[in-house]
Amino acid sequence: MKREIKFSLLYRDMWQSSGKYVPRVDQLKQIAPVIIDMGCFARVETNGGAFEQVNLLFGENPNAAVRAWTAPFNRAGIETHMLERALNALRMNPVPADVRRLMFKVKKAQGTDIARSFCGLNDPRNLQPSIAYAKAAGMIAQAAMSITYGQVFTVDYYAGLADKLADFGADEICLKDMAGIGRPAFLGKIVKTIKDRHPKLVVQYHGHSGPGFSVASMLEVARAGADYIDVAMEPLSWGTSHPDVITIQAMLRDDGFLVPDINMKAYMEARRLTQSFIDDFLGFFIDPSNKHMSSLLVGCGLPGGMMGSMMADLRGMHSAINAALRQNNKREVSLNDLVVQLFQEVEYVWPKLGCPPLVTPFSQYVKNIALMNILYMAQGKPRFAAIDKDSWNMILGKMGRLPGELSPEIVALAKANNMEFYTGDPQAPYPDALDEYRKEMQENGWSPGKDDEELFELAMHDRQYRDYKSGVAKERFTKELEQAREKAGAPIVVVRPVVEMPAFDAAAVRERYPTAWPVQAPAKGQVIWQYDLADVSTAPVIGTAFKKGAPVCYVQTYYGLEPAPAMADGQLVQVETRQGDVVEKNQIIAFLKTEE
């Protein structure tokens, strides 16, 4: 008898792997019936990490969006699933336990059936509460293991982790191959071992196209006993996203599996609608490089979804690195040289940092450290001359236990900076907070909402929720869209006034100030020199002094304000950006002259 393989459509992740935003709720309601008509999906990933933040950024109510988006699938008997980050839940930083617990109750009430929970460090202590909270809320608890490749990450490592998750009560296990670097035979052995030990445990495989292993990996995990395969569909399949359902269906059917038929008329309509959303406005925020697969990812293991932002980082740093090389009588590098150098530096620093699986947010931390090392070495400084706060929190164990051992030089660096390592429960430092947020809602006259969903949204994304309620979020997004349309040469309704600034020449700055340090954008977003966005000319005065670690300015991201800190004591000598400019992550915003 043929064994059945079921498909899950990753409609949320397809967009997140391609660009900055997801479709608006009116667009999601448009395509839901068409996805149902395709007839080949047992599950659809509807919401989770980044989804609510995007709704808030649009100025939409995220709770209304989740309810409207999941409802058609609920009625059709198609399961819906969300992605959550365990200790970080739906955001990039730790969340109090009472807020995490409320999340599962709210999402179940809104129509989400399955909670896919992952910890970027594979720390079981972070996953155990998520499993318990999901089951208590009546959801299917799917525990995800972050897949990567290296000496620490053996079949026994993952099988042992799966054993613990099963003991915690997980209903299902997901192999989350976020960079697509899991070798096919290796993944097959993991699935077979899990199935041998836990034959009734459902196993789902999630693999990005990235370096190109994913199709072979899907065949191997299917042969080993996987029950569900995550897939995408055109025009957002392949590249940094996921293989297309048509290819995977044909491959598995030819191998003797029972797989569902695809209603091709509905597929083409879903394809057309998705493209229309891209043409409407979402395409302005999709980096073309994210349509490409790259074998260069095999060695460094960076997730494919980072390629677009990574290239923007490298372009922003290229001239500064070359200026530093010239200053030290070294050969300049091309952008292609720099790409290879960054990949090699990631390979070098990753084991020294305890081998964190390269998934959000830890992939960003490792990449940022590697990129800054390249700049430091070009300046004649040692590696790890400065490490940002979030990366230190990872190194010190404040987000969970690292899978591997830290190198002696990193341990020595921590001690030299009088830093203490943390071995306690990662949840412990974050006390319950719902009472404070409930008080804020009462003071503002805001309703906690059906099933306390508005209270949850404030507690999970407080800064973004306040901006949504005040209307600032809608105004900000409208301005960003106008800017994107202007840049693309598309028609716009309103054009913001532009105040010209002196031309920026990083090389000239480096030659004049050899000890200058760059101030870099901590994330993609809008530069905030002053909080009045209407004042587009506002910027600090040249010569302003900043202490190491102090915010030079801020970047307004989709999830809130991020400070752009000074990496050393110094005075402002060059400003590149205007108030309200949109910058890429790690783009140079300004330079500080130091006395070193």
Region 32-60 average pLDDT: 95
Question: Could you tell me if 261 and 321 lie in one domain?
Answer: no
Q: Is residue 401 part of a domain?
A: yes
Q: How much of the chain, in percent, has pLDDT values that exceed 70?
A: 91
For the chain, helix, strand, coil in percent to 5 are 45, 15, 40
Confidence grade of residue 494 (pLDDT, cut at 50, 70, 90)? very low
Question: Could you tell me if 392 and 312 lie in one domain?
Answer: yes
Q: Is residue 526 part of a domain?
A: yes
Confidence grade of residue 503 (pLDDT, cut at 50, 70, 90)? very low
Q: How much of the chain, in percent, has pLDDT values that exceed 90?
A: 65
Question: Could you tell me if 285 and 351 lie in one domain?
Answer: no
202-207/140-146 β-pairing:
unpaired
Q: Is residue 204 part of a domain?
A: no
Question: Could you tell me if 515 and 543 lie in one domain?
Answer: yes
Question: Could you tell me if 308 and 275 lie in one domain?
Answer: no
Q: Is residue 123 part of a domain?
A: no
Q: Is residue 497 pLDDT above 90, yes or no?
A: no
The residues pairing with 205 across neighbouring beta strands, listed in sequence order, are: 175, 229
Q: Is residue 159 part of a domain?
A: no
Torsion sign, CA atoms 562, 495, 283, 334: negative
Domain count, the chain: 3
Provide the token pair at 368.
């940022």
Question: Could you tell me if 307 and 377 lie in one domain?
Answer: yes
More confident residue, 359 or 159: 159
Q: Which amino acid is at 242?
A: H
Q: Which domain holds residue 68?
A: 1-82+232-249+257-291
Query: Length of the chain in residues, anyone?
Result: 596
Question: Could you tell me if 273 and 326 lie in one domain?
Answer: no
Q: Is residue 538 part of a domain?
A: yes
Which CATH number does the domain housing residue 545 bear?
Answer: 2.40.50.100
pLDDT of residue 534: 45
Q: Is residue 303 pLDDT above 80, yes or no?
A: no
Question: Could you tell me if 517 and 576 lie in one domain?
Answer: yes
| pLDDT per position as a tens digit, 126-148 | 999 999 999 999 999 999 999 99
Region 544-567 average pLDDT: 81
Region 269-273 average pLDDT: 97
Average pLDDT score, the chain: 89
Q: 512-534: b or e for each residue (b if 16 or more CB lie within 10 Å)?
A: ebbebbbbbbbbbbbbbbeeebe
| pLDDT per position as a tens digit, 215-232 | 999 999 999 999 999 999
Residues 181, 297 contacting (CB under 8 angstroms): yes
Q: Is residue 288 pLDDT above 90, yes or no?
A: no
Q: Is residue 405 part of a domain?
A: yes
| pLDDT per position as a tens digit, 101-116 | 999 999 999 999 999 9
CA distances to 128, 249, 400, 406 from 424, in Å: 15, 46, 9, 17
Q: Is residue 300 pLDDT above 90, yes or no?
A: no
Domain boundary among 351, 382, 416: 416
CA distances to 111, 135, 210, 554, 587 from 58, in Å: 22, 32, 29, 20, 24
d(CA 537, CA 429): 41
Q: Is residue 18 pLDDT above 90, yes or no?
A: no
Domain boundary among 355, 387, 416: 416
* Listed range (186-200, 403-417, 443-457, 517-531) with the worst mean pLDDT: 517-531
CA distances to 21, 290, 345, 553, 585 from 481, in Å: 11, 20, 36, 23, 18
Q: 195-205: b or e for each residue (b if 16 or more CB lie within 10 Å)?
A: beebeebbbbb
Question: Could you tell me if 515 and 408 lie in one domain?
Answer: no
pLDDT of residue 404: 95
Alpha helices in 403-524 (DSSP H): 408-416, 434-444, 453-460, 462-470, 472-488, 506-512
Region 69-95 average pLDDT: 96
**Rounded to 5°, angle at Cα 61 from 57 and 62:** 80
Domain boundary among 387, 416, 445: 416
Region 275-303 average pLDDT: 85
Q: Is residue 475 part of a domain?
A: no
Q: Is residue 188 pLDDT above 70, yes or no?
A: yes
Question: Could you tell me if 286 and 326 lie in one domain?
Answer: no
Instruction: Please provide residue 517's backbone torsions phi and psi, each rounded to the nearest 5 degrees.
Output: -110, 140
Question: Could you tell me if 302 and 410 lie in one domain?
Answer: yes
pLDDT of residue 54: 92
Q: Is residue 182 pLDDT above 80, yes or no?
A: yes
Q: Which amino acid is at 277?
A: F
Question: Could you tell me if 276 and 311 lie in one domain?
Answer: no
pTM of the model: 0.81
What is the helix (H) or strand (E) element at residue 560, kind and residue range? Answer: strand 560-565
